A and B are shown apart, each in its own frame.
Chain A
Amino acid sequence: MAENNGSSGKDSGLFVRQATGLVRSWSVFDAFVYAFFSVNLITLGLYIFSFAPYVPDGHLVTAVVISTIFIIFLVIVYAMLVSIMPRAGGDYVIQTRILGGPLSYVLPFAGWVFILWLWVPLYGNMLSWNVFTPLLTLLGGMTGNEGLLNAAYWFNGVNGLFFSALVVCILASVVISLGMKGYARVQKFCFYLGMAGLLTVFILLLVNDRATFIERFNAFSAQIGANDNVYSQIINSSSDAGYNPIAWNNIAIAASLPLIPMVVFFNLWPNWGATLYGEVRGASEFKRNFLGMFLGLVVTGILAVILLALFNRTFGWDFYLASNFAFYEGLSPFPVFPFPGLLAAILTENPLLQLWVIISLSAWFFGWMGTVFLSSTRVLFAASFDRMLPEWVSRLNPKTRSPYNALLLMTVPSIVVSFLFYYVPGFEVLTLNATVAIAICFLGSAIAAIVLPYRKPDLYHASPVARYKVLGLPAITVCGVILAGFLLFNIVLWLYDPMGVYGVHDPYSAGFMLVLYGIAFIIYYVYKNRNKQLGIDVEKTYEEIPVE
C-alpha cells in the first residue's frame, strides 16, 4: 500500500514512510528453523557420522566442534551479504552483482541446480534408512510379521532406495507448492515434533545404562531374525576386519582434521536459506540474518555433541562406531542400518513409546526434505528474471501458485539421476561431488565478500555492515578470507584425498563435475548471446541490484 508522506510529517512527530510497505512471508524464526533443518542432525548428521570409521583416528566430537567454529564465519559472511542484497537468489545474485562474468553464473548454477539433482538419491537413502527401515523393522520386531521385516529389508535394496528417492521428489514438490507460508507451517510443525522426539531420545539414553541397552539390543536383534549376542558380534567382527575405534576420551585434534571434510556434509549449510531472503522479514538487518543462521548452526552443534556423548554413555562408543563399520563392510549380523533412533527406541519395552520415537524423529526428515528443491527454485527464478533462463522457468500455476516449471526442472533430472545412481554400477561415485560443488559455489561468494568493499564501494558503504571493522579492515573482507581458507582446506582435502575416504578423488567423478560446469557455461553463453541479439548486455544487468 503506497503511502508517501507529506513534508511536515517529521515535524509533527509523525512517521515518514517512503515507499510501498510489504510484510514478507517468513519471520526470523522461520528462517532459523530452515537453517536448523538444513544442518540436520538426525538426517544428514547421523548419516555422515556413520562413515566416521573410515577416518579411524579422527574423533567426531572434535571434528564437529572445530568445523562449527569455522562455519560461524560462513554465517557472518552470508548474513552480511544477504543484508546488503536481501533478494531471492542468494549466491547467484551475490556473485553476479559483485563479481560478474561467466563464473559468477556458472558456480551458483552448477552448485544450486545441477548438484541438487545429485542430492535426491542421498535424501532417498536417508528417508529409507531413517524413516522407512526403522519403522518397518520396529513393527516387524513387535509383531513377528515377516512381511514387515521383508519390507524393511526391501528398503535397504536398490528398488526400495529408488522408491524412497521418488517419494522425496513428490513430497518435496508438494510442500514447496504450498507456498512460503504453507512451507513454514509444515517445517514449524515438524520442528516441534522432531524436537520432542529428540528429547525423548535424550531421556531414554539417560535413564538406561549400557547393560540394559546390550540386553535390549540383543533381544530385539533376535526378534528380527539375527543371532544371539549380536552386540559383541558386531564389535568382534569389526575388530577382526582391522577396525579399532578411537577412544571416546581421545580428542585427537590433528587426527580429526581429515574428518572435517566429511562432517561438513552435515553442517556446512546454515546458509541454505540465503537464496530465500527476499522473502524473510527484516532481511536487510545483519543481526537478524546472523541470529537465524547462527542459532541454527550452534544449537545443532551443541545437540550433536550431547547426542554423541549419550551414544558413548549408553550404546558404548566402540559399538556405535563398529556397528556402522560392520554395516558398510557387510559384516553386521544386524540386518538393517543401525539408525541410532531405532537403537534408542528399543531401550523401552513400551511399543507406543517405541513408535513415538521413530515417528517423531521422522519429522526431522519431513521438515527438511523440501530443502532439496526450495532454495534451487529461487536461483532459477533469479536467473529467469535476469533473462538468463527462459521466462517460463519462473511461471506459477495460476490456480495452485505452484512453481511447476522450476520444480519440473529439478524433479525430472533428479529422477533420472536417482535411477542411474541406484541401477548403474559406478554412477554412485559421480555423485560424491554433491558437497564439493556447493562448497566451490560458496567459495565464489566468499571471494565476492572479500572484494565487495573495494569492487562495489558505494554498495558496501551504503549498507548496514560497513560499520563492522576488524583491525581497521572491513569485517566482511576479514571473515571472507577466513571462510575462503576453510573452504579451500576442505576442497583440497576432497580433491587430494590422502586417505582415500571422500570418494571425490576419482577421475570419473572429477570429469563429471567438469561436464556439469561445462553445461552451465554453455547455458550462460547461449542466454548472453540471446540477450545481446535483443540489445541487452547481461553484464550491465549484473551491475544493478535486482528490483523487488
Chain B
Amino acid sequence: MIETIKADIYLEGLRLIEEAEEKGLTLRLLGGLGIRHICPSATEEPWAREYEDIDFVASRSGRESLERFFEEQGYEPNKQRNLFAGDKRLLFYDHGNNRQLDIFIGVFDMCHFLELEERLRLTETALAPEDLFLTKIQIIELNQKDIYDLGLLLLDTEVGKGKKDKGALDTGYIARLCAKDWGWYKTVTKNIRELKHHLGKMPELSSEQKEKISAKLDLIENEIEKQPKSMAWKTRNLVGEKVQWYNLPEDLGK
C-alpha cells in the first residue's frame, strides 16, 4: 500500500489523476473539485469553500484495474456497494482525512443519466465545463453548495455555441442533449430559473457578478429553446410532469 494520500483534497485529486495516468487509467474530476480546477475565482471569496469528497469520472477501458489502483493508493473500498453497483460506480474511503472518493465509470447516473466515456478525451484533469454544468444542474434537490458551484462555473467560463475555445462552456452540446431528452430539458430549464432566483438573493455577490451569471444562463436557455426537438421529446412533452422525469438518488446508509 502506498501511503501518500495528501491532506489537501485538491492536491490529492491531482495526485490521483497523475498516478492513474502512469498506470494507463483515465480519471477526470467532476463535482465541486472539478469546478474548482477550472475556475480561478474558486479560491476567492465568496466562492472559496471546504471540499469534503473527491468525485471522478473514469474511463470504462480501465474498469478492471480501478479497484486495485485505489486500494494501492491507500483507500478503503465500500465492498458491498462496489459489489452491487461497481459496473457504473465505485466508492472508497480515506478514513485518515475523513473523506470519500466517488468514481463514476463511463457514465453519470444520478437524477439524470449522462454518457461521459467519449467526453473524457476532450479535456485533461477535469471534465469539460458543459459536463460540469450538466452534472450539477441535473440535481433535483439543489443545495446551497450546488448554487455556489454553478454560479462560480458560469462566472469564470466563457459561454458559447460550439467548441471554439477549449475552456468555454458549449451551449450547443447542452441544447442538443435537452432536445433529445425531455427529462433533461425539464430539469435544466427548471433549475436555470431556480438558479437565477437564488443568485439574485445573494448579498455576497456584486450586481456585476449577478448580471454576468444571469446573462450566461439566458444564453444557455435560449440555445435550449431554439434547438429543434426530437419526436421522442415531443411525445414525452405531451405527458408532461404527470410522470416523474428524474430519479431521486437515495442517501447511502439510510
- Contact in complex: A12, B144 (CB < 8 Å): yes
Interface centre among B52, B80, B83, B84 (most CB of A within 10 A): B84
Residue of A nearest to B89 (CB): A22
CB distance from B54 to the nearest CB of A (A): 9
A-B contact count (CB 8 A): 119
From DSSP, what is the main secondary structure of chain A's interface residues? loop
User: Within 8 Å CB of A281, what residues of B?
Assistant: 247, 250
A471 at the binding interface (Cβ < 8 Å):
no
| B83, B109, B254: the one within 8 Å of A284 (CB) | B254
Question: What separation, in Å, do the CA atoms of A393 and B106 have in the docked complex?
Answer: 27
| A19, A180, A403: the one within 8 Å of B251 (CB) | A19
Q: How large is the interface on A (under 10, 10 to 19, 20 to 34, 35 or more residues)?
A: 35 or more
Interface centre among A3, A18, A19 (most CB of B within 10 A): A3
- Contact in complex: A548, B143 (CB < 8 Å): no
| B52, B80, B141, B250: the one within 8 Å of A546 (CB) | B80
A4 at the binding interface (Cβ < 8 Å):
yes
CB distance from B24 to the nearest CB of A (A): 15
| B55, B83, B198, B250: the one within 8 Å of A12 (CB) | B198
Asked, given contacts A22-B85, A547-B253, whether A1 binds B55 with beta carbons under 8 Å apart, the answer is yes
Tell me which residues from 236 to 254 in chain B have a Cβ below 8 Å from any Cβ of chain A: 247, 249-254
User: Within 8 Å CB of A547, what residues of B?
Assistant: 78, 80, 253
CB distance from A81 to the nearest CB of B (A): 16
User: Within 8 Å CB of A467, what residues of B?
Assistant: none
| B79, B145, B201, B252: the one within 8 Å of A20 (CB) | B252
Asked, given contacts A15-B143, A279-B84, A547-B253, whether A23 binds B100 with beta carbons under 8 Å apart, the answer is no
- Contact in complex: B102, A19 (CB < 8 Å): no
- Contact in complex: A23, B110 (CB < 8 Å): yes
- Contact in complex: B250, A21 (CB < 8 Å): yes
- Contact in complex: B110, A21 (CB < 8 Å): yes
B175 at the binding interface (Cβ < 8 Å):
no
Asked, given contacts A1-B31, A2-B55, A4-B52, whether A20 binds B80 with beta carbons under 8 Å apart, the answer is no
Q: How large is the interface on B (under 10, 10 to 19, 20 to 34, 35 or more residues)?
A: 35 or more
- Contact in complex: A394, B201 (CB < 8 Å): no
| B52, B63, B146, B250: the one within 8 Å of A24 (CB) | B250
CB distance from B182 to the nearest CB of A (A): 18
| A23, A88, A284: the one within 8 Å of B80 (CB) | A88
CB distance from B71 to the nearest CB of A (A): 13
Tell me which residues from 39 to 90 in chain B have a Cβ below 8 Å from any Cβ of chain A: 52-53, 55, 63-64, 67, 78-81, 83-87, 89
| B31, B64, B249: the one within 8 Å of A22 (CB) | B249
Question: What separation, in Å, do the CA atoms of A547 and B144 have in the docked complex?
Answer: 28
- Contact in complex: B83, A396 (CB < 8 Å): yes
- Contact in complex: B81, A548 (CB < 8 Å): yes
Question: What separation, in Å, do the CA atoms of A282 and B53 have in the docked complex?
Answer: 25
Question: What separation, in Å, do the CA atoms of A387 and B52 have in the docked complex?
Answer: 31
- Contact in complex: A5, B144 (CB < 8 Å): yes
Residue of A nearest to B140 (CB): A15
B147 at the binding interface (Cβ < 8 Å):
yes
B11 at the binding interface (Cβ < 8 Å):
no
| A2, A24, A394: the one within 8 Å of B79 (CB) | A394
User: Within 8 Å CB of B52, what residues of A?
Assistant: 2, 4
Residue of B nearest to A278 (CB): B84
User: Within 8 Å CB of A385, what residues of B?
Assistant: 79-80
CB distance from B231 to the nearest CB of A (A): 22
Asked, given contacts A8-B144, A88-B80, whether A17 binds B251 with beta carbons under 8 Å apart, the answer is yes
- Contact in complex: A15, B83 (CB < 8 Å): no
| A1, A9, A19, A88: the one within 8 Å of B84 (CB) | A88
CB distance from B11 to the nearest CB of A (A): 18
- Contact in complex: B147, A14 (CB < 8 Å): yes
Excluding A21-B251, A88-B80, 17 further A-B contacts by CB distance (< 8 Å) are A1-B104, A2-B102, A4-B145, A6-B144, A14-B142, A15-B143, A17-B143, A21-B110, A24-B250, A281-B250, A381-B83, A396-B86, A401-B86, A547-B78, A548-B78, A548-B81, A548-B254
17 pairs, A vs B, C-beta closer than 8 Å: A1-B31, A2-B53, A3-B145, A14-B146, A17-B143, A20-B91, A21-B251, A23-B110, A278-B84, A279-B84, A282-B250, A381-B83, A394-B79, A398-B67, A401-B86, A546-B80, A547-B253
Give chain A's interface residues, CB within 8 Å of chain B. Answer: 1-6, 8-9, 12-25, 86, 88, 179-180, 278-279, 281-282, 284, 381, 385, 394, 396, 398-399, 401, 403, 546-548
